[in-house]
Amino acid sequence: MLTLADFDFDLPPELIAQHPARERGGSRLLHVAGNASRDMHFAELPQLVAAGDLLVFNDTRVIKARLFGQKESGGQVEVMIERVIDACHAIAQIRASKPPRAGSRICVEKTFSLRVTGRAGEQSEFYTLELVDAGDLYALIETHGHLPLPPYITHAAEHDDETRYQTVFARHEGAVAAPTAGLHFDQAMLAQLAAQGAELAWLTLHVGAGTFQPVRVHNLAEHQMHSERFNIPQETVAAIARARARGGRVIAVGTTSLRALEAAAAGGELAAGAAETRIFITPGYRFRVVERLITNFHLPKSTLLMLVSAFAGTATIREAYSHAIAECYRFFSYGDAMLLERANDEL
């Protein structure tokens, strides 16, 4: 039985990156292949990518999902949008002195009002909201909202964060957290990879605030994952087929790309189109699509740490993280990266 304690580790708080590297591509890169690891710089990544390989990126765009407002009683409220459903409705977390009642209103930024219509499920930490005033919710959030930096980043979003907590290829609005492995790439590196014969492909998975929710059960078999929306174009499915036919490797840029691809292949064959996923990948999972993974370092006891342990091997990840801590790698969203090879026993 897998337990939460199997994925715990001690991380010195000074290794939690509070700001990105000065330049995209300026971070460090730990290449992990079984028992071997190699300290590199992210700018050297093209040396590890062969002609014919395929990199799959998540092109979601982070919305300004953090809103501040007041209850009708005057109490302060923070709203963290989880998902915009349509122009008038959203699902969100609400932080207030007391849980909001169904039917109550929140005045956001002294500009527009949201009505709390209820909880998004009986045991859910999320609420359903309805726009009371005229307008488009996406546009109002973009105008009056704030960039939702992760909870372990201690400063409020600054001007530089507006650019650096967004990938250079972000296109489709809907995420409330960045696909952080993609933050390391600049246009020059994308061009370099293409010029040396690697193929680039795209999918969209809108990262939800649930990605930061702690696992609250000891027995991991009892954990329920949050749901996320994704869309895989037919062109990406075709690119993966071409890569396999020529002997190239499928490289997922980030755990979000990997989760989307593996969820879309759950039926046996990779399927294009839009869907929802609650896929929970833990050691013992058999990967169907992805052969290499570019990812940042993840939180203790997190579902993403469980995912990378399934991908590269639990012992391998434990050793890699110990090495990274000893060598003062920078952790989490603004931190350094790893390139992981899939464990042989998962092939």
Please report whether residue 183 resides in a domain. Answer: yes
Whether residue 164 is found in the same domain as residue 303: yes
Which of 254, 205, 225, 233 has its CA nearest to residue 55? 254
Please report whether residue 151 resides in a domain. Answer: no
Whether residue 211 is found in the same domain as residue 106: no
All residue ranges of the chain with pLDDT < 50 are 345-347
Whether residue 230 is found in the same domain as residue 190: yes
Whether residue 310 is found in the same domain as residue 164: yes
Domain ranges, residue 129: 66-144
Whether residue 27 is found in the same domain as residue 89: no
Whether residue 254 is found in the same domain as residue 325: yes
The terminus-to-terminus CA distance of the chain in angstroms comes to: 23
Instruction: Tell me if residue 192 falls in helix, strand or coil.
Output: helix
Whether residue 167 is found in the same domain as residue 231: yes
- The sign of the dihedral angle between the CA atoms of 188, 305, 157, 11 is negative
Whether residue 279 is found in the same domain as residue 200: yes
Stretch (H or E) spanning 250: strand 250-253
Confidence (pLDDT) at 309: 97
Q: Which amino acid is at 139?
A: A
Domain count for the chain, please give it: 2
Please report whether residue 296 resides in a domain. Answer: yes
* pTM exceeds cut of 0.85: yes
Confidence (pLDDT) at 124: 75
Please report whether residue 149 resides in a domain. Answer: no
Q: Which residues of 7-42 are buried (b: 16+ CB within 10 A; e: fewer)?
A: beeebeeebbbeebbeebbebbbbbbbeeebeebeb
d(CA 320, CA 155): 29
Whether residue 42 is found in the same domain as residue 79: no
193 touches 46 (CB < 8 A)? yes
CATH classification of the domain holding 74: 2.40.10
Instruction: Tell me if residue 209 falls in helix, strand or coil.
Output: helix
Taking only the tens place, the pLDDT of each residue in 78-91 is 999 999 999 999 99
Q: How far is CA 183 from CA 28, 82, 180, in A?
A: 13, 21, 5
